[in-house]
Structure 1
Amino acid sequence: MIYDIRHVTRFDYGGAVKFARCNLRLQPIDWPGQRVEHYALHVSPAGRTHPAHAEAGLAHVTRLVVEQPVRQLVIDSRARLAVDRLVPVPDASDPTLAEIAALARDSRDLSAAGPATYLYPSPLIPLDRTIADWCAKDLAPDRGSLEAGIALARRIQREFEFDPAATLVDTPPHEAFAKRRGVCQDFAQIMLTGLRAAGLPAAYASGYIRTIPPEGQARLVGADATHAWVLLWCGPERGWIGLDPTNGIWMAEDHIIIAVGRDYAEIAPVDGVVLGAGAQEMHVSVDVAPVETAA
């Protein structure tokens, strides 16, 4: 599948912003099953951009500096990707969770793609015994890694309610868990808490998922949104397997990865420092369009 993606972020400021320095993580990474064919970034009305080093996680980072007064800033990111990713099928030969944990502990790969990097709690996803005990029901050490992973993702999807009004971007996992409601970021963080508590290497994936309109209705341009899910390392043969607890499904051809990290803070699409007075409003529009149906 070939996708054209457009991600537009608009900031409206109550007063003139005299200086801004931001990190943009909007260019999708190449990852098994997906390849970036083209990428373009446009910032208006002004701004200098240059590549920057990713301090953590797997991401393409662009540094944006605005040095003239602005009341509005528009960041327009466009990409074309080829995605060819099959739905995983659990197999009796898959390593068990106990074997995965041991392999990860023994790994000498300390890169941002190595399993050892994702074994431990992170600033936004601390260890929580209540969540760990709840997740442990699906994470018996002798259970196959893929079978256990999808079972936990599906239980989160069944027992939690998607409710955008229930949480904020900085809501900690224990609060969303207590409410049994939230959004994709909350469900991914809850699942990551449980997996890491069981000694398993699990990463936070940020990206997009294609939305399919009801039969007979046209796609709504700009109605898609950024999405979050979980990557579980399932040994050197299987590698990283994606699990989507919001929808109770595998990462497959409808998922597109932008970046991978220990938690959202490492791979936020936009962060930085803005100097100015007055309130700020942010508006985001995302469109994920298969090329054969793109306008």
Structure 2
Amino acid sequence: MRYKVSHIIRVDYEPPVRVAHFNLRLMPIDWPGQRVESYKLAIDPLPEKREERAGAYPFNLTRVEILKPVKTLEVRSTFIADVGDAQLDLAVQTMSIADVAQAALAERDAGLMAPAHYLFPSRLLPLVPEIMAWARPQLPSDADCLTGGLALARAIKSGFVYDTKATEADTPVEDAFSIRRGVCQDFAHVLIVALRSVGLPAAYVSGYLRTYPLPGQPRLVGADAMHAWVALWCGPQRGWVGIDPTNGVLANADHLVVGMGRDYSDISPIDGVFVGGASQKTYNSVDVSPIDARLAVS
């Protein structure tokens, strides 16, 4: 699948801020089966300083400083990507949960993709006893790692309600789990806590998802949104596999990876600090459109 992706973030400040320092994590990383080209990042107003570098986890970081009064900040990220389906044969049994947990502890790799970084509690994802008690009976130690992880994702899909008004970006994972409602960020966080509770390395993936209009309805430009799912480490041979608990599926050619971290706080698309301004409103517009005309009407 070949896509053109456009993401616009606009922040309105009232009153204007005097100085703004912020981080952007919008440039997609290299990922197996995904090839990105023609990436552009435009910032208005033009910053006095702009620095691009690799992040502390698998993400690309752009650091920006604006040293003049700003009432409206607009960021435009655009790129073209080719994405292929994951070539996985689920009929082939892989390592058990116990064996993967043991292999993760034995790994000596210290790179950004090393499983050790994603084994333990992180800033937004402590060990939650209620999630652990719910997950462990569904993840027996002798079960196939990938099969168990996907089954748990499908349990979230069937047992939780997608509700954009139920949670905020800073809602604790235990609260989202308690009400069984939320959005993709919440469902990814619940799944990560569950997988880590049995010793499985699990990471938070931020990216884009191609969405489909209802039958007979036109596709609305700008109606898509950023998406979140989970990467599960399934042992040294199979490596990282994407699992989408919002949709109860493996990540496929509809999923475009931007970055990976321990939780949302590692790879939020924009954050930072500013001086002045009493309030702000943020507007997002995302469009993920197939380039091939034959795919656009599927």
Counterpart Cα distance in 2 of 1:85 and 1:29: 17
SS of the equivalent of 1:26 reads coil
AA aligned opposite 1:153 = A
Q: Deviations over 1:115-160 (max 9, x none)?
A: 1111101010000111011111221111111110110000000000
Structure 1 stretch displaced more, 81-90 or 31-40: 81-90
> Partner residue of 1:50?
51
> Partner residue of 2:207?
207
Query: Any unmatched runs of 5+ in structure 2?
Result: none
> Partner residue of 1:184?
184
Give the deviation of 1:68 after TM superposition. Answer: 1.4
> Partner residue of 2:69?
69
| Residue pair 1:87, 1:250 contacting (<8 A) in 2 also | no
Q: Deviations over 1:18-73 (max 9, x none)?
A: 1111110000111011111120010112214221341x321110111111112111
Mapping of residues 20-35 of structure 1, within 5 Å: 20-35=20-35
Give the deviation of 1:83 after TM superposition. Answer: 0.5
> Partner residue of 1:256?
256
AA aligned opposite 1:195 = L
AA aligned opposite 1:32 = P
Mapping of residues 3-18 of structure 1, within 5 Å: 3-18=3-18
Distance change >3 Å, CA 248–CA 25, structure 1 → 2: same
Counterpart Cα distance in 2 of 1:38 and 1:134: 44
SS of the equivalent of 1:81 reads strand
Give the deviation of 1:272 after TM superposition. Answer: 0.6
Counterpart Cα distance in 2 of 1:87 and 1:161: 30
Counterpart Cα distance in 1 of 2:138 and 2:35: 33
AA aligned opposite 1:278 = A
AA aligned opposite 1:41 = L
Structure 1 stretch displaced more, 36-45 or 153-162: 36-45
Structure 1 stretch displaced more, 198-207 or 92-101: 92-101
Q: CA RMSD in A?
A: 1.2
AA aligned opposite 1:49 = R
Counterpart Cα distance in 2 of 1:136 and 1:223: 37
Counterpart Cα distance in 2 of 1:204 and 1:176: 16
> Partner residue of 1:38?
38
Query: Any unmatched runs of 5+ in structure 1?
Result: none
1:112 aligns with 2:75: no
1:225 aligns with 2:225: yes
> Partner residue of 1:129?
129
SS of the equivalent of 2:21 reads strand
SS of the equivalent of 1:132 reads helix
Structure 1 stretch displaced more, 242-251 or 86-95: 86-95
Give the deviation of 1:92 after TM superposition. Answer: 4.0
Mapping of residues 148-159 of structure 1, within 5 Å: 148-159=148-159
Counterpart Cα distance in 2 of 1:58 and 1:111: 9
> Partner residue of 2:2?
2
Counterpart Cα distance in 1 of 2:51 and 2:284: 22
Counterpart Cα distance in 2 of 1:51 and 1:134: 42
SS of the equivalent of 1:169 reads coil
> Partner residue of 2:167?
167
